Amino acid sequence: MKINFIDLQAQYQEYKSEIDKEVLEVFASAQFIGGEKLNSLEKNLAAYTGSKHAIGCSSGTDALLLALMALGVGAGDEVITTPFTFISTAEVIALLGAKSVFVDIDEDSYNIDPTKIESRITDKTKAIMPVSLYGQCANMEAINEIAARYELPVIEDACQSFGAIYRGKKSCNLSTIGCTSFFPSKPLGAYGDGGAIFTDDDELATKMRMLLNHGQNERYKHKYIGINGRLDAVQAAILDVKLRHFDKEVKLRDEIGSRYSDLLENVDVITPKIAEANTSVYAQYSVRVKDREAMIAKLAEQEIPTAVHYPVPLHLQEAFEHLGYREGDFPISELVSKQIMSLPMSAYLGEAEQDFIVRAIKG
């Protein structure tokens, strides 16, 4: 049985007529940057999350970068974050000359452990940046409480959790700034790179809009040093179509993720644990196994694709050697990175395909 890790083609066929119509309208208008399609998407993203401001940008990485820039993070500053995530999270901190101060993760959620944050705060700390990994929000209430005591802003790296709910509120609307990615494989994905930034703060929103357009406050007048971080109209049009159907896909992802966990209940793997007050959009369905390489090889024999998110935690990456961390500094992150693997997951994964995958694992 041929199984796709993520079935983007099935999704396109589902919405083909709507997507083609919207994209052709962009081509006919010849307005490829900004304009009506981007305005519509931003309005609908803000309504979906309950945020006052939603700002489309060029990628999830740039969303994180723009958030840090708007908060004035720079050389010599420190930002507290997790070592168990994609490199973008710490990469943008380093690009601004600041230092990533890592905090180990909670073994159940794989998100940053709030109980370990406070001891890492110094007079150089400029922000806290938790990641909502694999589709489930971090413990934002606990994190926000700590941040409030020290008057620190919080940036939710929600690049994998757009659409997830935490204590009745949507991801991206849980902190000072929320950032997400619309990379094609994300639960809400574009057909290229894309991202968005969310905030209720008028001043930060105005500043981030300038920063993503070369720091311009009006044409050819530049208030800040910025970047070219704009989201193009074609991607905005595609995302706006997909957003109309997104709740249906979130429901399907939840059903498929829950079904995986039920089917694997008595198997020697550790399935995702979703906190009682949370929902997950299952950006990945990731399990832990003791002999990961053997399992990956076994599934590959039956043409079942897998992936590892993530095999090397950031504190052990060559790019961050200058931070001086060593193996053993973050034992939970290191343990999980040796055991974690992701199974095929999308809203279009059929029950027969899922049963085939689970049988192969049980075998």
Gap between the Cα atoms of 197 and 56, Å rounded? 7
Question: What was the pLDDT predicted at 163?
Answer: 98
Domains and CATH numbers, the chain: 8-244 (3.40.640.10), 246-362 (3.90.1150.10)
Mean pLDDT to the nearest integer, 105-122:
98
Distance CA 205, CA 164 (A): 23
**278-330: pLDDT as tens digits:** 999 999 999 999 999 999 999 999 999 999 999 999 999 999 999 999 999 99
pLDDT of residue 1: 83
Q: Is the pTM of this model over 0.95?
A: yes
Averaged confidence pLDDT in the chain: 98
Q: Measuring CA to CA, how many Å separate 24 from each of 21, 31, 233?
A: 5, 11, 11
Per-residue pLDDT for 161 more than 90?
Answer: yes
d(CA 33, CA 21): 18
The yes-or-no verdict on residue 363 having pLDDT over 90 is: no
**Average pLDDT of the segment spanning 22-48:** 97
Band the pLDDT of 2: cuts 50, 70, 90: confident
Rounded distance between C-alpha atoms, residue 103 and residue 315, angstroms: 10
What pLDDT digit, counting tens, does each position of 32-44 carry? 999 999 999 999 9
Q: Which residue has the tokens 């009745």?
A: 168
Distances (CA, A) of 194 to 58, 66, 200, 261: 5, 13, 21, 31
The model's pLDDT over 170-186, given as tens digits with 9 standing for 90+, comes to: 999 999 999 999 999 99
Percent of the chain whose pLDDT exceeds 70:
100
